[in-house]
Amino acid sequence: MSYIYEGTIDEMETKTEALYESDTITEINKADSEKSISNKEDKFDKFLKWIQNTYQIEKEIDKGSSKKRKFLIKNNEGELYFLKVVEKINKKVLDEIYLIIKEYPNKFLTPIETGEKKGFYYEIYKYYQQGTVKENLSFVKKNVEEVIFQLNESLKILHKNNIVHTDLKPSNIIVDGDKFLITDFEIAAIIKEDLEYGKRKKGIGSPYYTDLYLFELGYVKKTADYWSLGMLIYYIIKEGEFPFYDEEVFKKSVKKNGGIVVDDVELKYTKLLIGLLTYDPDKRIGYEEVKKWLEGDNFETVFDNKIGINFDGKIINSLENLVKYYIKDYEKAREHFKKRLLNNLKELNRKKEFDEIERLLKKDNLSIDDKLSLFMTNYYNNRKSNITPIYYGIKLNFKNIKILIENYIYNKVDEKGILMILENKCRMSKSKRKIYLQCVLKLIENIINLYKENKISPEFRFLIAIYNYYYSNKNKFKNIMDVHKLLLKIEQIGIIDYLNKNNDYLEENTIFKLFSFLLKLENIKVFIIKDNFEIKSEGIYFIENSNKKIFLNVADNNLNLFFLGNEKKKPIVSINNSEFNNTKISFLNLNLEIDSYLTFSNNSEIMINNCTIKSKKFPFYLVNSKGNFSNSIFDVNFRAIYAKNSDLFINNVTINSSNDGIIIDKKCKVSKDKITYNVKKHKIFEII
């Protein structure tokens, strides 16, 4: 749609000539409306029959509204062309635009034929097989600075001739080798030379790409094209994945923040995008600033002071990407954000407290952690520091956490199932079957302690702590000091000790359901199973009751299993020679200090480090390669050797220098020939 503007700014609203007429049907009955639509379709069919006198229609491309249709057509010589059909348009204004831009064939794509027939306006273009920016994202991203340069120069030509495109977007930029041509001018505008603004009908354009001032208020200014350019650049460098989920939320956010919060973008593009994607068209950057950026020169934007945290060469403006970089470089990010937090907390505290805070924080012998802890201890009750989380003012909610889970946690195999449970826990209503987060965290902690090779990362513990903090407090956001006090406490005393104070206990049946849930998840390498199970050649069966079994395929040769044994319930274990070559199975008995750690070799022998340790009183039976039951274990070892210096044994696991064996808490000794322990029913392993 194009417009010609004449007169003063005050007169502009009444002196605008629209290319599209209103399609609103008023005061007619439904039958008349349906008849009108039917007549319109008949007319379009007649138009297509007319065009087929000269061209063969190959296919319809990107069918949109009835106002614009696109087709791939072929002439009698077999040459392909692109046909665009528009229902109503002001051909006079569009011809004026084409008359100007056809002088720049390396900048703009103009039709080789235009006309009006059967009530429709049509344009025929040369067909470019390479397509648009939308179909060439990988190539375009590699050449994004060239794209910016060419489009900036093209916009300079348009604006010099008082033409505003108003609808610059990926599907309107044709890729022709190393050239990027602007096309689709049917909703462009021409502004009278002595005027700065134009006015047109609201709601015309493409969501996100059309300047909001233009889209919602109808104000046309040349800088509208620079909003579109900014969105186009954002689209390219984000490879087509806009972080905008809802159009209405997007609009409100832009108005509230004065523009788009540019996030997770290389630092070199951040300032450019912030300048282009400014809501107020009078404060938005244009040709000169983009040119300076391309030349490596600096320029000013109204939002220079609102650029987010510079970390690792990128700007971070959201919780999602804050945690992404926290995970990427845990220690570096931790120090960076804690320093920033201290500064923010100091700035927000009451003036009368500032000198005392400054005195405390200037102690040279204190680490960042100590300073932060000291600050929170002394000023925990100061509720003015309402920075929500994690480090500099980003609100944490279920939607944000869900994004974190989907984008950055699910790719970690062992942690995927745990996060799924946490997510489900957030959705559950109050019921007897509710899986408490505390139980899950205890399970995690035991996996960490019992299987050091799969130790969960500190950043994952961090996310779990945040989950626990918010979803154990009825989703109410609290002060940032509370968050950090919690994190420091967990870091100092560990998750289990922290959770033990919550007094949330579960019945065995509930825990078994939790284990069952874990087992149903695919690709998990570590399992803890309670009581009843059967191992067979085709996989593992977990017996919930006499009528129900849960099946798990164990084709993965690197599967690791932990079975919680019970003296009264002896599990049945059958082992197939070919299925469990590299499978490690650990039987944990809660009433003994002993953990048998078994590895099945290719010949079905059970061994560890080629060492034979015998014992006669284990609460389970094994089936040897001949199918005979035996109460003798060929190779037994303490789990402790694989958990040396872990929290589980409180650093009391030692290897005797004289090679006599392993000593645990000075009470239990393992040597090559025998196992000696002096404490009865001493519980080393405790899940609940």
Domains, the chain, in order of start with CATH, read: 3-126 (3.30.200.20), 133-316 (1.10.510.10), 318-506 (no CATH), 510-677 (no CATH)
Kindly state the tokens that stand for 633.
Answer: 């274990």
Q: What is the reported pLDDT for 57?
A: 93
Rounded to whole angstroms, the Cα distance separating 158 from 522 reads: 56
CA neighbor of 129 nearest in space, from 190, 195, 61, 192: 61
Assign 639 a pLDDT band (cuts: 50, 70, 90). very low
Q: What is the mean pLDDT of the chain?
A: 58
Going by pLDDT thresholds of 50, 70 and 90, the confidence category of residue 201 is: low
Range with the poorest average pLDDT among 295-304, 459-468, 527-536, 591-600: 591-600
Q: What percent of the chain has pLDDT over 90?
A: 19
- Phi, then psi, of 630 in degrees rounded to 5: -145, 140
* pLDDT tens-digit readout, 408-443: 333 333 444 444 444 444 444 333 233 333 333 444
CB < 8 Å & 24+ apart, contacts of 392-396 = 392/309, 392/337, 392/340, 392/341, 392/344, 393/344, 394/318, 394/319, 394/322, 395/319, 395/477, 396/319, 396/466, 396/470, 396/477
For residue 194, what are its two tokens? Answer: 């002595």
What whole-number distance in Å separates Cα of residue 461 and Cα of residue 447?
13
Higher pLDDT, 354 or 6: 354
Q: Note whether 190 and 96 are within 8 A (CB).
A: yes
Residue 171 to residue 155: CA distance in whole angstroms: 17
Q: What is the mean pLDDT of residues 317-325?
A: 53
The neighbour count for residue 519, using CB atoms within 10 Å, is 18
Distances (CA, A) of 435 to 464, 517, 518: 15, 10, 12
Could you tell me if 418 and 457 are in contact, meaning their C-beta atoms sit under 8 angstroms apart?
A: no
* Residue recorded with tokens 């449970």: 421
Task: Pick the range with the lowest mean pLDDT from 214-218, 258-262, 636-640.
Answer: 636-640
Cα separation, 249 vs 485, whole angstroms: 33
Cβ atoms of 491 and 330 within 8 Å: the answer is no
Q: Pairing between strand 189-190 and 163-164?
A: antiparallel
**Better-predicted residue by pLDDT, 110 or 480:** 110
pLDDT confidence of residue 45: 87
- Distance between CA atoms of residues 187 and 199, nearest Å: 13
Give the DSSP H/E element, type plus range, for residue 56.
Answer: strand 56-61
Determine contact, residues 190/5, Cβ cutoff 8 Å. yes
**pLDDT level of residue 330 (50, 70, 90 thresholds):** low
CA–CA gap between residue 221 and residue 191 (Å, rounded): 8
Distance CA 43, CA 50 (A): 11
Peptide bond into 456 cis (omega under 30): no
Confidence band (pLDDT; 50, 70, 90) for 8? very low
